[in-house]
Structure 1
Amino acid sequence: MTAADRLVERVDEFVTERPAAVIAVFLLISVVAVGGVGGIETSAGADQFTQDIPAQQALDDIDEEFETSIGGSATAAQLIVTDDNVLSRSTLIRILETQDRLESRSTLRVSSTSSHADAIARQLDPSAETAAQRRDAVADATPRELRAAIDDADASGAVESQVSVDYNPTAQTADASIVGITYDVPDAATTARVTELQTRSVEVVDSVPGNEAGDNAILFGDGVLQSEITALLTDTAIIVFPAALLLILGFLVFAYRDPIDMGIGLAALLMALLWTFGFMGYAGIPFSDSLITVFPLLLAVGIDFGIHIVNRYREERSEGLGIEDAMRTTTDQLLIAFLLVTITTVFGLASNVVSPFEPNRDFGLVAAAGIVFTLAVFGVFLPAAKVLVDRWRERLPIPEFGTTALGTGGSRLGRVLRVGVDLSTVAPVAVVVVLLLGGAAGGAYGTGVNTEFSEEAFFPDEDRLETYSNLPEPFAPTEYTFLQVLTLFEEEFEQDFVGSVTLYVDQSVRDDDALELIDRTTRNPPDTFETTDERRAASTSVVTVIEDQAARDPEFADVVDRNDRLGTGVPDRNVDEVYDALLDSPAEGQARGYLADDRGSARIDYTIQPGVDNSEAVADVRELSERTPLQTVPTGELVVNEAVIDRLTESAIRSLFAAFGLTAVFLALSYAYLEGKAVYGLLNLVPVLVTVGLLVGSMRLFSIPLTPINAPILSVSIGLGVDYTVHFVHRFVDEYKAGSPVDEALDITIAGTGGALTGSMLTTVCGLGVLWLAVIPLLRDFGVLLALGVLYAYLCSILLVPSLVVVWDRYGDRVGLGLDGGLRESTGGRAD
């Protein structure tokens, strides 16, 4: 007797002899798991996937060192104000009143605010130090004084940079403006704290007469964004989980046809999920977008295990065995299959621990742990509960419901399931060749699948949100502002966040040649960069700020000329003197966006040609960074996104090979140890390869890009595919060893296990496919892929495996790898 057999015998003993004790232990563990559920935190959005990327670190440095950022500082926010004319006296007063209330409310910890209204008010009263004083200056100015002040502020560049692109300096009109808000919070402040401050700021903004928060005054920042993305997860759960529950219940009724058995199965599902949630809480793993998919996955495997247990138990009971003997036979034959399925699925999931993305590593760890919990619950708790309940049924007047196994007794389902076996008797070679070629073609076609990553990819589909808004509470989704903000940024301010790339100059720029070197990076630009008439890159840096200010201010121009030995218009000595003069000029605010306070770093923004491929633009800025003598880091949202995509492809391929390699070795060794034939392990893998090929091809066919959320799908599909083929092959081996010919063993397998596989597939596909209802497109796509993976795995197990077995039986002996070889028992009949 092997160690596996001894383990199964031990489980048999507990399940059949002490079921009440088993149930009590599992309930006690569940109570402990409840304690971990309360410690779960939430993490969402694209930031999860950009950690440890040099370009992102440079972006974070820019947020900290410069007064204007391109990444969106966690301690800053923007208030977008819209009106018929944001340069009118009434709107300027409203903006300054808003700034005053934000700055004066100490509990908000607002350290500063800035706007075009500030610059205009300072022209009216240079001594005005507070927003309230500047508001009064605007209120008291005559129309002529106000108009002159707007002209003077515009001459310094302080107006155009903070109002919408429809700004008309002659008419002094614009439809929208941005108010910058900076919070004074420590670096260690939690996201929850920042979110709280920004949420309370919205209330203050709404208290100002004329402001309507979320309409003509929209506050937007990382705190608000994270809050709304978290709300997205909640809205998705509220819509998806009830729909999944209804579908699963419907198919469980079909599979179990017995309310008591279904109740046991549901209790086991809830227990497995509870243990997994508890593990997350105790392990300190936050609940994120990626982990939403774990729970449909656990439902899929749990439903599969539950249906197999009950279906096989019913088979044995129909042959006259008692409760204990029937359950012993069931667990003897299924626990080893469950163990193989669990370990191979864990390999597929745990292979994601090699991913460079922390959310994917968390996904692999949580899903692997959940699958192990599912094995324990459905392999031990459910059989024990079934034994205990059936004993009560024998003693109590409880009516009998559906007790026959799926696919048996000449049912229509049984006749449909025989298609694969029938084909294996007619043209097994043709079936194998067609399906192998189909899988290979799908895999080859799928090599052209697109990759995608951006913050917008985590945002919901606007059309779907509009449709769901008609649902009654609590299903109607939250009112989100970030979609409106993105539209405003793109339409009013022409900011799409990916139309430029940046060089972060990570060195002191106080040397005499620093500005010359910065200027040289704009000469002879690559074709992907926008250019000026002088064949220079269209860029913004401290050099361009100096040039613009010199063109407007003769006094500052004299400072530049004195320190420009080469006569190029770029200072090449005493640059600190130039910086001091620049920071004392009206261009101070713009300069601080490109020159750090300590002058230990700088930043250069380059505009990208419209329609240019992202990867080409990123390659060019990386090349520019390498060839410049300055110590620079290429960054910007576009660069960060491309870095994630690079890692994404590498991660998916690495996880796929790790999962397949571990699974192949494990199955070969396991069947060699358990059955004396490693060939059975190979029979499991061929359908899995076809499944993966078809799935990759489907991604391209349905235009589903590879994203950080669905990156684990390839490795997960191996685990899901093995789930179905292991059950089929393991049952076939049991019947074949017992002395049944190949065709008879296949008949018995498809009649019993085929029905269980069908019930499992239907509930799983619907349970996973219901993610298509998610408001987050990434989750919708992942749900579709998981459902397709399960469907392909099921079809391959039903259609391909029978023909594969027949082909191997016919031709394997020629190379010494046949199905025989001492495996048959000395006596005929079925295995006990």
Structure 2
Amino acid sequence: MSAADRFIERVDEAVTSRPATVVAVFLLVSVVALGGVGAITSSAGADQFTEDLPEQEALDDIEEDFETAIAGDATSAQLIIEDDNVLSRTALARILETQDRLESRSTLRIASTTSHANAVGAQLDPSAETPGEQRVAVEEATPPELRDAIEAADEGGAVGAQVSAEYNPTAQRAGFAIVGISYDLPGDATTARVTELQTRSVAVVDGVPGNEAGENAILFGDGILSSEINALLSDTAIIVFPAALALILGFLLLAYRDPIDMGLGLSALVMAVLWTFGFMGYAGVPFSDALITVFPLLLAVGIDFGIHIINRYREERLTGTGIATSMRTTTDQLLIAFLLVTITTVFSFAANLGSPFQPNQDFGIVAAAGMVFTLLVFGIYLPAAKVLVDRWRERLPIPEFGSTPLGSGGSALNRVLHVGVDLSRIAPVVVVAVILIGAAAGGAYGTGVDTEFSEEAFFPDEERLERYAALPEPFAPTQYTFLSILSIFQEEFEQDFVGSVTLYIDQSVRDDDSLELIDRTTRNPPDTFETTDNWRADSTSIVTVIQDRADSDPEFRRTVEANDRLGNGVPDRNVDDVYDELLAMGDETNARGYLAADRGSARIDYTVKPGVDDAQAVADVRALAERTPLEAVPTGTFVVNQAVIDVLLESAVDSLILAFVLTATFLMLSYRYLEGKAVYGFLNLIPVLATVGLLVGTMRLLDIPLTPINAPILSVSIGLGVDYTVHFVHRFVDEYKEGAAIEDALEVTIAGTGGALTGSMLTTVTGLGVLWLAVIPLIQDFGALLALGVFYAYLCSILLVPSLVVVWDRYGSRIGLGLEALSEEEPGVDGS
């Protein structure tokens, strides 16, 4: 007896002889799993995918070493004020009152606030140092005094820089203003701490008369952004899970047609998911955007296993055999199929462990563990619970409900399912050719699928949020400010969050030629960069800071000229002395924004032309980094995003190849061991490849880009495809080796397994497709792809496999690779 046979025999014995004990053990483990659920933490947003990238490390160094950050300081925030006119007396007083209340709350740890209203108040009363004192000056000023103060503040540049682009200096009118808020926190302050302070600041802003937080007074910072991304996960779960549950319940009732059997199936589903959640908590794996998709996957496989168990058991019961014998026959046949499906699906999930992204690695770990739990629960617990319940049914007056297998007899479903078998008799070669050519064409077309990564991709569009806002509580989503802020910056301040790329100079800049080398990187700029009148790149660096200061300060200009041997305005000797004099002039030079405190690094910011493709701008700054003699690393927001995209595409393809190789090797070795025919493993793989090709082609056709969230779909589609083809092929092999003709074996397979596959497909596609209701667009796309993957896998199993079997037997026999029936003496059948 083989090891597989011994394992199945032990399961048979436990399930049929001690079902109550088996159920009790599984319930006890479930109680233990509950302890891990409470330990789950969460992690969300784009930062999960940028760790350990050289471009991100350079960006982090800039955030730490320079006073002017590329993406803004994590411990600062911006308050956007909207009014009919933010330069009116009422608006100025409201803004200063808001600043005064924020600075007065010591628990908020606000170091300072700045706005155009400060400058106006200071013009009215130079002795007024606090926002409260400046508010009094604004309220007491006469109209002419106020107008003169605004004009004077504007001449100093303090108004135009902090109000919206439509600002009219003559009319002294603008609709939006920015209030800068700086928190007194260490650079290593936790995100949770920043989020807490910024959230509490929102409440203070909302308490000022005239302010409506989130409407005409929107506070935004990294802490708020982090909390909103986490809220997206909660809102998605609140909307998706109830909808998925309702739809799944409906289709399960249709599949089982028996409330007791459906209850058993649901208990198994809950148990598998509970064990997986518990594993996450005990293993310390945070719940993230990527892991939302694990649970619909587990539901998909669990529903499939459950329907197969009940359906196969009902087939045996219809023949008149007893409970124990029927369940033994069921588990004898299905446990091997479940093992094959589980191991191959684990391979497809575990292939993501090679991903450079931690969330995708977590996805691989959790999904693989969840698959093992699903096998145990549906392979052991469900059969035991079914035996236990049916024995109670025999002793108690419990009425019979639907107990016939799906797709049996002369039902309409049975007739539909026979299409694949009928086609295998009429034109099997045509069926195989059409499907495989279509899949190959889809795969080739899909190689042009787009890739996408940005923080904005995690947020829904405003129209979708408005539709969801009409839902009753608790389904109405959180009020998100990110989209409003993005829209305001782009439309009112004519700013984008990206528009520049940066070279991080990771070497000492104290040598005499350092500034010359930095200046040289601005010559002969690529077409994607903005240029100045002298055809240099429009850039900002310590060189431009020195030159700007020299233009405005005669004394410093003499220092520069004394140390500029080439006469081009760039010091090329005694650069340390030049730095010392520049830094001694104070923060107004902005030198610390482009020169590290230890002078061990510097940065150069290049302005990118509007409308330039991000990928091209990134390619140009990378080429610039390669040709400069400086140790330079390209970085910046969309440089990091492009780096993620590059790694994403490579890792997705690598995971797909790894999943396929592992799955192919395992299936062929398994069928060689179990049935003496490795070719059955090969026949399993062809429909899987067709599924992948069709899915990739559909991604491009529907304009669904490849993202960090749906990147696992390529390797996961291997597991989804195998789930369906293994059930079909394994049942066919069992029927065929009994000596039946191929046509008869296909008839029995389609009548029995085909119905279970259909019920599983309908329930799973519905359960996964409901992810389209998710608030997060990336989750929507992944749900659609998962549902399509299951549907394609089902179609390939029902339509392609019967014709494939016939074609292989017809033409494989000519080279000795036909599907002739196996005898009991062939290797592997009896373990010899």
TM-score calculated relative to the size of structure 1: 0.94
Q: Tell me the residue number matched to 1:387.
A: 387
Query: Partners in 1 of 2:84 and 2:575 — Cα distance?
Result: 43
- What residue is the counterpart of 1:216 in the other structure? 216
Aligned-partner Cα distance in 2 for 1:164–1:564: 41
- Which whole-Å CA distance do the structure 2 matches of 1:102 and 1:567 have between them? 50
Cα displacement (A) at 1:215: 2.1
Residue by residue, what CA displacement relative to the aligned partner does 1:728-762 show, whole Å, maximum 9, x if unpaired? Answer: 00001111111111110110000000000000000
Of 313-322 and 178-187, deviating more is 178-187
CA contact (8 A) 1:48 1:357 kept: yes
Moved more, 332-341 or 627-636: 627-636
| CA deviation after TM superposition for structure 1 residue 169, in Å | 4.8
Aligned residue identity for 2:715:
S
Judge conservation of contact 2:545–2:589 (CA < 8 Å) in 1: no
1:396/1:270 Cα in 2 relative to 1: closer, same or farther (>3 Å)? same
Question: What is the distance in 1 between the residues matched to 2:139 and 2:551?
Answer: 32
Aligned-partner residue type, residue 412 of structure 1: A
Separation (CA, whole Å) in 1 of partners of 2:65 and 2:149:
30
* Residue pairs, 1:479-498, within 5 angstroms: 479-498=479-498
Alignment partners' CA distance in 1, 2:713 and 2:687: 17
Q: Residue 354 of structure 1 corresponds to which residue in structure 2?
A: 354
User: How big is each residue's C-alpha offset from its partner over 1:523-572, in whole Å with a ceiling of 9 and x where there is no partner?
Assistant: 21011111122111122334434444555555665555555454433444
Matched, 1:225 2:228: no
Q: Is the 8 A contact 1:688 1:793 kept in 2?
A: yes
After superposing the two structures, state which structure 1 stretch, 203-212 or 647-656, moved more: 203-212
Comparing 402-411 and 120-129, the one that deviates more:
120-129
CA deviation map 1:497-546 (0-9, x unaligned): 23221122333444444443333222210111111221111223344344
In structure 1, the residue matched to 2:672 is 672
CA contact (8 A) 1:506 1:632 kept: yes
SS at match of 2:113: strand
Q: Distance in 2 between matches of 1:518 and 1:670?
A: 62
2:508 is aligned with 1:504: no
Give how far 1:478 is off.
1.4
The answer to whether 1:22 aligns with 2:37 is: no
In structure 2, runs of 5+ residues without a counterpart are 827-832
2:256 is matched with 256
**Structure 1 residue 206: Cα displacement:** 2.1
Partner of 2:306: 306
Cα distance in 1 for partners of 2:176, 2:497 equals 18
Aligned to 2:215, the other structure's residue is in SS state coil
The verdict on how the C-alpha distance between 1:810 and 1:764 changes in structure 2, with shifts beyond 3 A counting, is same
How far apart, CA to CA, are the structure 2 residues paired with 1:470 and 1:359?
33
In structure 1, how many angstroms separate the alpha carbons of the residues matched to 2:121 and 2:563?
A: 33
Q: Pairwise mapping of residues 571-720 of structure 1 onto structure 2 (< 5 A)?
A: 571-573=571-573, 575=575, 579=579, 588=588, 590-720=590-720
Residue matched to 1:830: none
Conserved 8 A contact 2:737-2:821: no
**How many percent of aligned residue pairs carry the same amino acid?**
77
Residue 417 of structure 1 corresponds to which residue in structure 2? 417
Q: Contact (CA 8 Å) 1:461, 1:776: kept in 2 or not? A: no
AA aligned opposite 2:791: L
Equivalent in the alignment of 2:207? 207
| Aligned AA (1:639) | V
Q: How many aligned positions are there?
A: 826
Report what 2:340 is aligned to.
340
Distance 1:655 1:532, change over 3 A: same
2:354 and 2:655 in contact (8 A); partners too: yes
Unpaired stretches in structure 1, ≥5 consecutive residues: 827-832
1:293 is paired with a residue whose SS is helix
Residues 684 and 295 (structure 1), Cα distance of their counterparts in 2 relative to 1, 3 Å cut: same
Query: Is 1:446 equivalent to 2:418 in the alignment?
Result: no
Deviates more, 1:639-648 or 1:526-535: 526-535
Report the alpha carbon displacement of residue 588 of structure 1 after superposing the two structures with TM.
Answer: 1.3
CA offsets 1:447-472 (integer angstroms, 9 cap, x no match): 11111111111111222111111111
Shift of 1:175: 3.2
Q: CA deviation at 1:182?
A: 2.8
Q: Secondary structure at the match of 1:502?
A: strand
CA contact (8 A) 2:739 2:821 kept: no
1:765 counterpart residue number: 765
Equivalent position amino acid for 1:251 in 2: F
Output the amino acid matched with 2:819: L
C-alpha separation between the residues in 2 aligned to 1:565 and 1:157?
Answer: 35
In the TM superposition, 1:402-551 aligns within 5 A as: 402-551=402-551
The one-letter amino acid of 2:470's match is: N
Q: Any idea what SS the aligned residue of 1:182 has?
A: strand
Aligned-pair distance for 1:123? 6.5
| Contact 1:23–1:384 (8 Å) recurs in 2 | yes
User: In the aligned structure 1, how far is the partner of 2:666 from the partner of 2:558?
Assistant: 77
Q: 8 Å contact 1:156–1:587 — kept in the other structure?
A: no
One-letter code aligned to 1:347: F
User: 1-side partners of 2:575 and 2:98: how far apart?
Assistant: 38
524 and 777 in structure 1: CA distance in 2 versus 1, 3 angstrom threshold? same
Checking the alignment, whether the CA contact within 8 Å between 2:457 and 2:777 is kept in structure 1 is yes
CA distance in 2, matches of 1:429, 1:509: 71
Deviation of the 1:226 alpha carbon: 1.3
Post-superposition CA distance 1:163-191 (Å, at most 9, x none): 33334455554433333323333455432
Three-state SS of the structure 1 residue aligned to 2:266 is helix
The CA distance in 2 between the partners of 1:125 and 1:699, in whole Å, is 63
Residue 433 of structure 1 deviates from its aligned partner by 1.2
Residue 495 and residue 620 in structure 1: after superposition, are their counterparts in 2 closer, same or farther (change >3 A)?
A: same
Letter in 2 for 1:714: L
Partner AA of 2:785 in structure 1: L
> Secondary structure in 2 aligned to 1:52?
coil
Pairwise CA distance, 1:807: 1.2
Structure 2 Cα separation of the partners of residues 168 and 122 of structure 1: 21
State the match for 1:177 in structure 2.
177
Given that residues 156 and 552 in structure 1 are in contact (C-alpha distance below 8 angstroms), is that contact kept between their aligned partners in structure 2?
A: no
Matches within 5 A, 1:3-152: 3-88=3-88, 90-118=90-118, 130-132=130-132
Matches of 1:258 and 1:161, distance apart in 2: 70
SS of alignment partner, residue 58 of structure 1: helix
Q: Name 2:790's counterpart in structure 1.
A: 790
CA distance in 1, matches of 2:173, 2:547: 27
1:453–1:380 distance in 2 versus 1, CA, 3 Å: same
Give, in whole Å, the separation in 1 of the partners of 2:728 and 2:797.
7
Matched, 1:323 2:323: yes
SS at match of 2:593: coil
Q: State the distance in 2 between where 1:770 and 1:14 align.
A: 37
Match of 2:297 in 1: 297
- The 10-residue stretch of structure 1 (369-378 or 809-818) with the greater mean CA deviation from structure 2: 809-818
Change (3 A) 1:140 1:704: same
- 8 Å CA contact 1:710–1:782 kept in 2: the answer is yes
CA distance in 2 between counterparts of 1:821 and 1:796 reads 24
Any residues of structure 2 matched to 1:231-246 within 5 Å, and which? Answer: 231-246=231-246
Greater Cα shift, 21-30 or 503-512: 503-512
Paired with 1:143 and 1:462, the residues of 2 have a C-alpha distance of 40
Report the Cα offset of residue 209 of structure 1: 3.6
8 Å contact kept, 1:724–1:757: yes
In the alignment, the residues of structure 2 paired with residue 144 and residue 22 of structure 1 have an alpha-carbon distance, to the nearest angstrom, of 88
- Cα RMSD of the aligned pairs, angstroms, is 2.5
What corresponds to 1:815 in structure 2?
Answer: 815
